[in-house]
Amino acid sequence: MPHLPAFHDYAHGITCIDTELIRPGLAACYLIQHEGMAGFVDTGVNSSVPGLLQVLEHKRIPRENVAWVMPTHVHLDHAGGAGLLLQELPAARLLIHPRGARHMIDPTQLSAGATAVYGKQAFQRMYGELVPVAESRISIAEEGFVLDFNGRSLRFLDTPGHARHHYCIHDAMSAGLFTGDTFGASYPELNTASQRFIFPPTTPIQFDPDAWAVSLQRLMGLQPERIYVTHYGKHENPAPLYQQLLDCLQEYVALAAAHAASSDRVAALQAALLQSSINRILATGSTLGSTLDSDTIGQVLDGDMRLNAQGLDYWLNQA
């Protein structure tokens, strides 16, 4: 019998589904249901697709009721499975940022870029062969576009900083935002009931701290009550997370400048970013009685901080 991934139903017809990339609780996508219409925000990777279809079957949602597949941006943990998923959804269209459409039609550059970051074997293991999306099935979400989701209003906002092909979605019904990577990453293992740890994923290659800060300010201007992040899950009361992200962006820029002349800049940045994260979590945990230790934190965040270091290194090279 096909495998049913972990999922969690929230209010307002929103379901968070674990896309099972690398480990549980690393990456999610979201299923939205409203008045008989369904859609996915982000898709995970090719290996995520059978699980997404199994969730539809579990919920007795006919595949033809899925009208939209909406990757927040074209990084493969968010959009790598889009082409394969669309093959299984006969009525669905892909709704994509204008800068991302060409990469979904011809994913050659996406494959090459991810292979350069991860290596050929790791790329194949995580992502497999990317499936192109026919241009006839693609719609473009320009800045400010409002999708009528069967009477539910979804507004799309251009939010560069993490990537220039990134949008976020404001869902008026839930007073929430689907934020992809723009509102950071926050893993369940590192959070407590009263405190959230969040950081900006500065993965290669389009990190822009000034644009990112503006994007975050725009999102907070909508006065969201909650955010739905790909990494990972729903977070209420975004204001403290917003301040954490702004502070962290400033710190990342300072660390990049401090290690710009290092002989092995990526390694130096990775170590500095990881230590900064450990320090932040332990400082908070000491006041909340957390049992997290440096080794556990390092195991969770080491891969992310390696990618963040590569992104900062690329940014420094473009300065």
Rounded Cα distance, 174 and 193, in Å: 22
Q: Tell me which of 153 and 287 has the higher pLDDT.
A: 153
Rounded Cα distance, 241 and 247, in Å: 10
pLDDT of residue 285: 61
C-beta atoms surrounding 188 within 10 Å: 11
Q: How far apart, in Å, are the Cα atoms of 202 and each of 63, 160, 259?
A: 35, 12, 16
pLDDT of residue 116: 80
Q: List pLDDT tens digits, range 100-137.
A: 999 999 999 888 878 887 788 888 888 888 999 999 99
Q: Tell me the pTM.
A: 0.94
Q: List pLDDT tens digits, range 54-96.
A: 999 999 999 999 999 999 999 999 999 999 999 999 999 999 9
Q: List pLDDT tens digits, range 132-186.
A: 999 999 999 999 999 999 999 999 999 999 999 999 999 999 999 999 999 999 9
Strand partners, 178: 169, 228
Residue 231 host element (H or E)? none
Give the chain's mean pLDDT: 94
Average pLDDT over residues 203-207: 91
pLDDT over 50 at 14, yes or no: yes
Average pLDDT over residues 236-248: 96
Cis previous bond, 169, omega within 30? no
pLDDT of residue 120: 85
% the chain with pLDDT above 90: 83
pLDDT of residue 319: 74
pLDDT over 80 at 50, yes or no: yes
